[in-house]
Structure 1
């Protein structure tokens, strides 16, 4: 993947996770508190890992794995973990 496309994809992913973090931080969110906290933690991790990837100090693999696990969970499929 060309670097400009990578930057664009990472930026889109950051926006998604920022939106999720804002939503689960809202006291009106109906999800259980522990799930909200875990999603918020993942959002923080995504932000940090994205910064590492952009500065070429980290790998993109953890971000891909997190997104794949979330997608599987939302679709009702079990992960291999």
Structure 2
């Protein structure tokens, strides 16, 4: 099966929320495997080396996911409420800003993971289960 056929099959079998959740979970998993060493590095030079060793690529991938979310939220076909759109766009802007701080070697990765996990839970419907209990 070609990659194009595989992508077409996925788009026909997964709902948009499932696709968003899967993509965000994948990049979050990549961040999680790299963040401890980065966040625990005491020297900026160590952090910059970890960025060069692959973390930079993962951070940019995460930022691309959030940029895609932001662009999608501006589409007229997007059915979310204006308040929810504004909140997610605000998060996307925060992710962009925080990512720049991480790329400069001065901010930790963990807050990006925390935001992603919160959105993954929301896309899974888990925040409603917790709130209802």
TM-score, normalisation: structure 1:
0.88
For residues 36-55 of structure 1, what are the alpha-carbon distances to aligned partners after superposition, in whole Å with 9 as ceiling and x for unaligned?
Answer: 00010000000000000000
Match of 2:55 in 1: 6
Q: What's the C-alpha RMSD, in Å, of the aligned pairs?
A: 1.7
For residues 41-76 of structure 1, what are the alpha-carbon distances to aligned partners after superposition, in whole Å with 9 as ceiling and x for unaligned?
Answer: 000000000000000121111100000111111112
Structure exhibiting the larger radius of gyration computed from Cα positions: 2
Match of 2:113 in 1: 64
In the aligned structure 1, how far is the partner of 2:108 from the partner of 2:101? 8
Which structure 1 segments of 5+ residues have no match?
none
In the aligned structure 1, how far is the partner of 2:84 from the partner of 2:65? 17
**How many residues are matched?**
80
Identify, as 1 or 2, the structure richer in helix: 2
For residues 1-52 of structure 1, what are the alpha-carbon distances to aligned partners after superposition, in whole Å with 9 as ceiling and x for unaligned?
Answer: 3423211110110100000001112233211000000010000000000000
Q: Which has the higher contact order (CA 8 A, sep 6+)?
A: 2
In the aligned structure 1, how far is the partner of 2:57 from the partner of 2:126? 28
List, as ranges, runs of 4+ consecutive aligned residues in structure 1 with deviation greater than 2 Å: 1-4
In the aligned structure 1, how far is the partner of 2:74 from the partner of 2:127? 26
Which structure 2 segments of 5+ residues have no match?
1-33, 35-49
* Aligned pairs (5 A) from 1:11-22: 11-22=60-71
